[in-house]
Structure 1
Amino acid sequence: MNPADKDRIAASLAKIMAMMCVRNTGLETLHAGTVPVTQTGDYADVFVLDAAGRRIPWAEVSHLDDDRMRDLMREIVNRLYTFHVSCDDPGFLQRADRWMTVSKKWDEPELDRKFLGVIGYGPGEAEK
């Protein structure tokens, strides 16, 4: 397979998996809340007052606790697993094609070199 085809297929697969496996999960619950008003544009003027009376800058507030993060990750892993085990089913592929129409409107993905660094992998290491 030539590099351009490989990149095109990988980009399409990344977008369809994000659309079907990550969107409409618990992430939507986090997104659905009220967005605070900021006059500075960077939320430096926004604070959360908690039940203990602490005034916490918006940038330092955790927006989900460990239980919610665990639930979200389980949901996403289960969807990714389901996607992979269903990807050879013709009915599933038909539905995935419909979702692909929506995801085609998204920006093209870019190689995440920071991610590769975090996992200790650099391009070309597979050949070593």
Structure 2
Amino acid sequence: MNRDDEKRIAAKMAKTLAMMCVRNTCLETLHAGIVPVTHAGDYSDVRVIDADGREIAWNDVSHIDDEQMRALMKEIVNRVFTFYISIDDQEFRDRVDHWARLASRWDEPEEDNAFLQRLPMRD
């Protein structure tokens, strides 16, 4: 298989996994709500006032707490695990094909070389 074919298949799988295993998780709950208005375009003009009365710049506010992050990662890991252990089931593969068609409408992925550079060689 040539490199272009490998990239085409990897792109299809990446979009399908993202669609099936990341989208429609508790991430959707975190995404829901009122989006603040920014006139600056970068949210530098938006502030949050917390329960103690502290005014915090929107760009400095944590938008997800540790518990939410843990729940999100657990849900994604469980879905990826279920995806991999179910891939031999024909009914599941039919579902994968359905979601792959929907995900095909997404933008094509790009290689993330910075991701590769951030991964340590050893623990």
The count of residues paired between Structure 1 and Structure 2 equals: 121
Residue deviations 1:40-91 (CA, integer Å, cap 9, x gap):
1111110000011100000000011111100000000000000011111110
The within-5 A match list for 1:20-35 is 20-35=20-35
Aligned to 1:93: 93
Aligned to 1:17: 17
Matching residue's letter, 1:2: N
Identical columns (%) = 59
Aligned to 1:68: 68
Gap runs ≥5 in structure 1: 122-128
Gap runs ≥5 in structure 2: none
Give the Å deviation of 1:120.
3.7
Q: Distance in 1 between matches of 2:119 and 2:40?
A: 36
The within-5 A match list for 1:29-44 is 29-44=29-44
The within-5 A match list for 1:104-115 is 104-115=104-115
More contact order relative to length (CA 8 Å, sep ≥ 6): 2
Q: TM-score scaled by structure 1? A: 0.91
